[in-house]
Amino acid sequence: MTTPPMRPPHQGGGLRSAARRSLHGREVEARRLSESVMAVAAGQGCVIVMEGKGGLGKSRLTREAVTWARRLGVAIAPAVADELPGAAPLAPLLAALRGCDPPILANPEFDPVHGRDYDAAWLIDQLEQALRKATVHQPLLITLDDMQWADSLTVVAARALTERLATSPVMWLLSRRPWPSGPMLDTLFSDLVAVGAVPLRLAPLPSEAVARFAGELLGAAPDGALLGLLDKCAGNPSIVVDLLTTLAEHDELIIDATHARLLPGSLDQRLPDWLSQVTPLTRQLLDVASIFGRTFDVPSVAKVLHRKVAELLPPVQEALGAGLLVEEGTQLGFQHDLIRDAVYRGLSLDARRRLHREAADALLATGGSVPDAAAHAISGAEPGDTDAVALLIRASDEMVAAAPGTAGDLRLRAVDLMAAADSGRPWRVMEAIGLLFLAGRSAEAQTLSEVALQDGLPAEVEARLRFQLADSLGTAGYSASALHHARTALGLADVEGSTRALLFAAESNAHLLAGDSSAALRAGEQAMATDMTPDRAGRALLTMGVAERVRGRLRRSLQLIDEAADLLAADAAGARRLEAHWARGRTLMALDRFDEAQAAWDAADRWAGEPGTAATEVFRRTCHALLLLHRGELADAVAAGNAGLSRAEELKSWMYVPELCAVLAEASAYRGEFGVARRRLRHGVSRVSEPRSVGAQRLAWATAVVDEAAGEEPVRVLAHLASLYEQLPDRLEALAFDPMAGPFLVGLARRADDARYAGIAAEATDSLSRINQGVISFAAAGLQAGGLLHGDDDRLVAAARAFEASPRPLARARAGEDAARGLLQHGRRAEAVEQLQLALADYDRAGAVVLGRRVRDRLGDLAGSGADRSAAGPAAFGWASMTTAELRVARLVATGLTNRAIADELDLSPHTVESHLRHTFRKLDVRSRVELTRVVLTREPTPGENDR
Ligand SMILES: Nc1ncnc2c1ncn2[C@@H]1O[C@H](COP(=O)(O)OP(=O)(O)OP(=O)(O)O)[C@@H](O)[C@H]1O
Ligand SMILES: [Mg+2]
């Protein structure tokens, strides 16, 4: 063995520096590019797609274009896609727009986060707008290099934006290696060319160009032997640079004034020589090591060679001694890329592929990184390589639980390798899409689904794909689209029974969302009538159970959900098991069984965080917020609700947002935060997908609660609820949801003088208590509603008492208030005071300051009124007769505010303010605002300090 043949090259390596090298042998391409740059500088956009193997000069030509463009005053947005997996979606495009001077995007809001869902269409719209704005005054060159690594959203966006901005002064320069490729990327490039993009396909440089290039690099013309060596560089400038750098570094060249000659017995001749001089085992070690790249670790190599690590120590020593390898930290590395490449190239294609696959197996077997293993499978494979496909699928399977998104990506890679005619291909595509959905990357999954559906699929695959779409669209709150996919798939012939069952379940769910619980039940029954696996029956039963709850049949609901939970217990998908527990808890909550509900949810928490459970997290927080509201823990309900809301927005999972907003609005209003409450209501409405949906009903109810707490007039509150009244008694969900809803509706209708609505609401409340015999809150609500309808104070008192055994303090307090009102009407003052005091205590404990104040005022009135007036009820005239709302308005009048300003301040309608003022004028016997101000100031010398 001789001394080490090579050392790593120094920077620059004695060759002419990169900045001063000219372009060789690319005249045609350069002309094309310069023409395009001139055109864009003159306002005419275009698209250029460049393809060429690694090192042929794509980046170099891109740099040339950038230089010309800069000279002509064209703005530059440059970007290179990253090879490392896990880059954020759209990263290259965003980087290009941010890297522009001045930046086209400065806003961090456009950062879709990897592994999360994002709205592709919205993002692309934003980019389009930003680009349009940026190119009004200055033409733009966007370069997207290394597109073979680009994520699918970048590919989708590039297609959309090149088309939408076709008439803008934008020049697009997209480049890629021909491999790795994928269907989306291939389609992008061929589509672009089809609609007029200029294709630039880089061929190897001709020998003369290589010779000229080498001459320039060395500053002298290469001689015949050197030219012979350069010929082996396959016309690849990158290899030429590498080779000459190494030769120069190791003094293998003799360069005089005119010529560069190769030292006799030089590298090219010696390398194979050295390799042949090492022992066979060392040679094997090097062969295998070259598979792993420039650096590698010995245990992996040992695995592939089926040897013990110890056995490899002598060959490692030998290779180190020969200067072929060097130590690099805990790893070993080749002395130089050229050695690694020479060894790697020395392997036959077959051997390479086999070794890559073995390397992948070795990595998988030693618990090494699965993506690394998959990378080997990819490098070792060419289209049609069934072994590599199998390995990728295996790697994907292993990743499903931990990282469904990566598993999906691996499956897509496998699809890329599958032959077009392979009948397994559509299945793999469908599975990959399912995994992306599971990972929360639903925009991407939807795009891929559309492509797949357009291409045409076998019926069974199409049906499954549409099921996935229906399922995820439903979760996002788009019931109409979900229904469409479920229905379309059910219309297909030749679909397996179990798939049909899934589709019926999805249909059932979509109906439920849209507010049609009867249709939901019918679809659920159809699912059950189809022959199917337990987990699918579980799903169907689950939606049916929820539908029954919505219809107010709580015991039946519980029974169905329990059956569903049993069937789903064995289901691998954590999200489903979890949903069953949460749904069960909700029904238990409606049945007043709060602690059991909490226990069911706690039990479900052990699966939280499993893949696909992200969206159920929103559900979970919604349930928590709701339970806290019903328990009268308002501050906590607001905290839980807000957490749920921000998670929902992050995940773009809007199914529960209307309900969350309703809960938040109610809790905030009770706490006196009316501004917040109104904002939540507006937000909730913006996320309602269909007017008849459960969410819309919840929001209508919450709006009424907020209005009532704000002191809005009954007629106006009632107006929001007309559709809710009209749908009684068919749709009982609003009442089943919150037992105080029924009595609330009766009382409201009575105060608004609407006897018909009062009757309908009382009837519905009663029927709910009959359907759910033995549930305290429903029984109490039935009594309360009846008492209100008939002005029966005994029944009202009984209702308030019945509520004492329920876990719902706010419902109990409201019943107490109603009882007090009834009692007062019949002169039973002492009992009324007692009811009010109980209610006050409940409200105070809950932190319901607004309702508490209302009760306090009534108690104040009662205490202020003399014993002689006790029988007649509270004062009708004078300061003592003023209601809280009237007092608030009067105080603000005294500070000089107009009615409109008062309305804004108190979050009331101007109409209501006027009506309060009218009453106030009458009660205080004043005729003007000035008079009123005087009265207020004599009563309360420092206006504004009083509690509003
Ligand atoms: N026509 C050329 N004349 C002179 N030098 C060139 C030419 N083409 C490429 N080079 C040089 O060869 C090297 C490799 O080129 P470049 O990086 O542009 O290749 P690439 O096609 O972008 O490769 P990859 O696919 O690996 O990104 C660079 O040093 C570049 O300056
Ligand atoms: Mg490049």
CA of 236 to the centre of ligand 1 (A): 8
pLDDT at 108 over 60: no
Q: What is the CATH number of the domain that holds 155?
A: 3.40.50.300
CA of 237 to the centre of ligand 2 (A): 12
CA of 36 to the centre of ligand 1 (A): 21
Q: What pLDDT band is residue 371 in, cutting at 50, 70 and 90?
A: low
Q: What is the dihedral of CA 485, 490, 496, 498, to 10 degrees?
A: 70
Q: Provide, rounded to the nearest whole percent, the portion of the chain with pLDDT above 90.
A: 35
Minimum-distance ligand to the CA of 54? 1
**Is 196 a pocket residue for ligand 1 (Cβ < 6 Å)?**
no
CA of 115 to the centre of ligand 2 (A): 27
pLDDT at 449 over 60: yes
Query: Residue 850 carries which side chain, given as an amino acid letter?
Result: V
pLDDT at residue 115, rounded to an integer: 41
Mean pLDDT of the chain: 84
Q: Is residue 559 part of a domain?
A: yes
Two tokens, residue 148: 């073979």
**Is 23 a pocket residue for ligand 1 (Cβ < 6 Å)?**
yes
Ligand 1 atom 31, closest CA: 60
pLDDT 10s digits, 304-355 = 999 998 999 999 999 888 778 888 777 888 876 667 877 887 888 888 888 9
Q: Which residue has the higher pLDDT, 836 or 111?
A: 836
Two tokens, residue 339: 């050695």
pLDDT at 922 over 80: no
Arithmetic mean of pLDDT, 420-433? 89
Q: What pLDDT band is residue 789 in, cutting at 50, 70 and 90?
A: very high
Ligand 1 atom 7, closest CA: 57
Q: Is residue 287 part of a domain?
A: no
pLDDT at residue 868, rounded to an integer: 40
Same domain? For 908 and 855 the reply is: no
**Is 213 a pocket residue for ligand 1 (Cβ < 6 Å)?**
yes
Domain interval for residue 516: 400-627
- Note whether 666 and 706 are within 8 A (CB): yes
The ligand 1 atom at the shortest distance from the C-alpha of residue 54 is: 25
pLDDT at residue 365, rounded to an integer: 77
Same domain? For 574 and 648 the reply is: no
Q: Provide, rounded to the nearest whole percent, the portion of the chain with pLDDT above 70.
A: 89
Arithmetic mean of pLDDT, 121-150? 89
CA 790 to chain centre: 52
The ligand 1 atom at the shortest distance from the C-alpha of residue 205 is: 1
Same domain? For 866 and 910 the reply is: no
Q: Which residue has the higher pLDDT, 286 or 379?
A: 286
pLDDT 10s digits, 556-588 = 999 999 998 888 877 655 567 778 888 899 999
CA of 168 to the centre of ligand 2 (A): 27
CA of 91 to the centre of ligand 1 (A): 24
**Cα–Cα dist 207/492, whole Å:** 60
Minimum-distance ligand to the CA of 61? 1
**Is 641 a pocket residue for ligand 1 (Cβ < 6 Å)?**
no
Which of 322-326, 553-557, 865-869, 927-931 has the lowest average pLDDT? 865-869
Other CB atoms within 10 Å distance of the CB of residue 880: 16
- Note whether 230 and 260 are within 8 A (CB): no
CA of 144 to the centre of ligand 2 (A): 10
Q: What pLDDT band is residue 361 in, cutting at 50, 70 and 90?
A: confident
Q: In a mutational test of the pocket of ligand 1, which residue from 20, 53, 238, 240 has the highest number of ligand atoms less than 8 Å from its CB? A: 238
Coil, helix or strand at residue 232: coil
pLDDT at 257 over 50: yes
pLDDT at residue 81, rounded to an integer: 87
Q: What pLDDT band is residue 111 in, cutting at 50, 70 and 90?
A: low
**Is 25 a pocket residue for ligand 1 (Cβ < 6 Å)?**
yes
pLDDT at 623 over 80: yes
**Cα–Cα dist 545/522, whole Å:** 12
Two tokens, residue 151: 């994520």
Q: Where are the alpha helices (DSSP H) in 380-424?
A: 386-399, 404-417
Q: What is the CATH number of the domain that holds 883?
A: 1.10.10.10
Same domain? For 126 and 180 the reply is: yes
Same domain? For 748 and 860 the reply is: yes
User: Quick one: three-class SS letters along 105-147?
Assistant: CCCHHHCCCCCCCCCHHHHHHHHHHHHHHHCCCCCEEEEEECH
How would DSSP label each residue in 820-871?
HHHHHHTT-HHHHHHHHHHHHHHHHHHT-HHHHHHHHHHHHHHHHS-GGGGG
Phi and psi (nearest 5°) for 334? -75, 145
**Is 556 a pocket residue for ligand 1 (Cβ < 6 Å)?**
no
Q: What pLDDT band is residue 395 in, cutting at 50, 70 and 90?
A: confident
Same domain? For 619 and 662 the reply is: no
Identify the burial level of 675 via C-beta atoms within 10 angstroms of its C-beta, where 0-12 means exposed, 13-18 middle and 19 or more buried: exposed
Q: Is residue 3 part of a domain?
A: no
pLDDT at 421 over 50: yes
Q: Is residue 328 part of a domain?
A: no
Residues 6 or more apart whose CB falls under 8 angstroms from that of 585 comprise: 596, 597, 598, 600, 601, 604, 623
Number of domains in the chain: 4
Task: Out of 597, 627, 657, pick the residue that ends a domain.
Answer: 627
Q: What pLDDT band is residue 678 in, cutting at 50, 70 and 90?
A: very high
Q: What pLDDT band is residue 780 in, cutting at 50, 70 and 90?
A: very high
The ligand 1 atom at the shortest distance from the C-alpha of residue 52 is: 21
CA of 355 to the centre of ligand 1 (A): 29
Q: Which residue has the higher pLDDT, 228 or 275?
A: 228
CA of 213 to the centre of ligand 2 (A): 18
pLDDT at residue 53, rounded to an integer: 84
The ligand 1 atom at the shortest distance from the C-alpha of residue 60 is: 18
The ligand 1 atom at the shortest distance from the C-alpha of residue 202 is: 21
Identify the burial level of 793 via C-beta atoms within 10 angstroms of its C-beta, where 0-12 means exposed, 13-18 middle and 19 or more buried: buried
The ligand 1 atom at the shortest distance from the C-alpha of residue 22 is: 4
Q: Which residue has the tokens 């896990």?
A: 86
pLDDT at residue 692, rounded to an integer: 73
CA of 120 to the centre of ligand 2 (A): 28
Task: Out of 170, 201, 232, pick the residue that ends a domain.
Answer: 201
Q: Which residue has the tokens 């597109």?
A: 147
Which of 712-721, 870-879, 910-919 has the lowest average pLDDT? 870-879
pLDDT 10s digits, 502-559 = 899 889 988 988 878 889 889 988 888 886 678 778 888 888 898 888 888 899 999 9
pLDDT at residue 512, rounded to an integer: 83
Same domain? For 532 and 483 the reply is: yes
The ligand 1 atom at the shortest distance from the C-alpha of residue 63 is: 18
pLDDT 10s digits, 226-245 = 898 888 777 889 878 877 88
Identify the burial level of 901 via C-beta atoms within 10 angstroms of its C-beta, where 0-12 means exposed, 13-18 middle and 19 or more buried: middle
**Cα–Cα dist 633/844, whole Å:** 11
**Cα–Cα dist 332/339, whole Å:** 14
Q: Which residue has the higher pLDDT, 803 or 911?
A: 803
Minimum-distance ligand to the CA of 56? 1
Query: Residue 876 carries which side chain, given as an amino acid letter?
Result: A
Q: What pLDDT band is residue 704 in, cutting at 50, 70 and 90?
A: very high
Residues 6 or more apart whose CB falls under 8 angstroms from that of 55 comprise: 236, 237, 238, 239
pLDDT at residue 253, rounded to an integer: 85
Q: Is residue 227 part of a domain?
A: no
* Per-residue buried b or exposed e for 678-699, using 16+ beta carbons within 10 Å of the residue's own CB: bebbebbeebbbbeebbbbbbb
CA of 922 to the centre of ligand 1 (A): 90
pLDDT at residue 58, rounded to an integer: 96
Same domain? For 476 and 604 the reply is: yes
pLDDT at residue 871, rounded to an integer: 39
Arithmetic mean of pLDDT, 7-21? 57
Strands 259-262 and 295-296 turn out to be unpaired
- Note whether 75 and 44 are within 8 A (CB): no
Minimum-distance ligand to the CA of 237? 1
pLDDT at residue 438, rounded to an integer: 76
pLDDT at residue 109, rounded to an integer: 55
Q: What is the CATH number of the domain that holds 573?
A: 1.25.40.10
Ligand 1 atom 9, closest CA: 57
Same domain? For 760 and 893 the reply is: no
Q: Where are the alpha helices (DSSP H) in 772-808?
A: 776-790, 793-803
CA of 56 to the centre of ligand 1 (A): 5
pLDDT at residue 63, rounded to an integer: 95
pLDDT at residue 867, rounded to an integer: 42
Q: Is residue 423 part of a domain?
A: yes
pLDDT at residue 87, rounded to an integer: 59
pLDDT at 753 over 60: yes
Q: Which residue has the tokens 């527990």?
A: 581
Arithmetic mean of pLDDT, 433-462? 85
Q: What is the CATH number of the domain that holds 694?
A: 1.25.40
The ligand 1 atom at the shortest distance from the C-alpha of residue 18 is: 31
CA of 58 to the centre of ligand 2 (A): 5
Q: Which residue has the tokens 């199917």?
A: 532
pLDDT 10s digits, 147-163 = 988 887 888 889 889 98
**Cα–Cα dist 88/890, whole Å:** 58
**Is 235 a pocket residue for ligand 1 (Cβ < 6 Å)?**
no
Q: Is residue 529 part of a domain?
A: yes
Task: Out of 610, 627, 644, pick the residue that ends a domain.
Answer: 627
Whether the link from the prior residue into 729 is cis, omega within 30° of 0, is yes
Q: In a mutational test of the pocket of ligand 1, which residue from 28, 59, 201 has the highest number of ligand atoms less than 8 Å from its CB? A: 59
Q: Is residue 302 part of a domain?
A: no
Of the CA atoms within 13 Å of residue 842, those in its CB half-sphere come to 27
Arithmetic mean of pLDDT, 257-266? 77
Same domain? For 715 and 645 the reply is: yes
Same domain? For 598 and 701 the reply is: no
Same domain? For 856 and 890 the reply is: no
Minimum-distance ligand to the CA of 178? 1
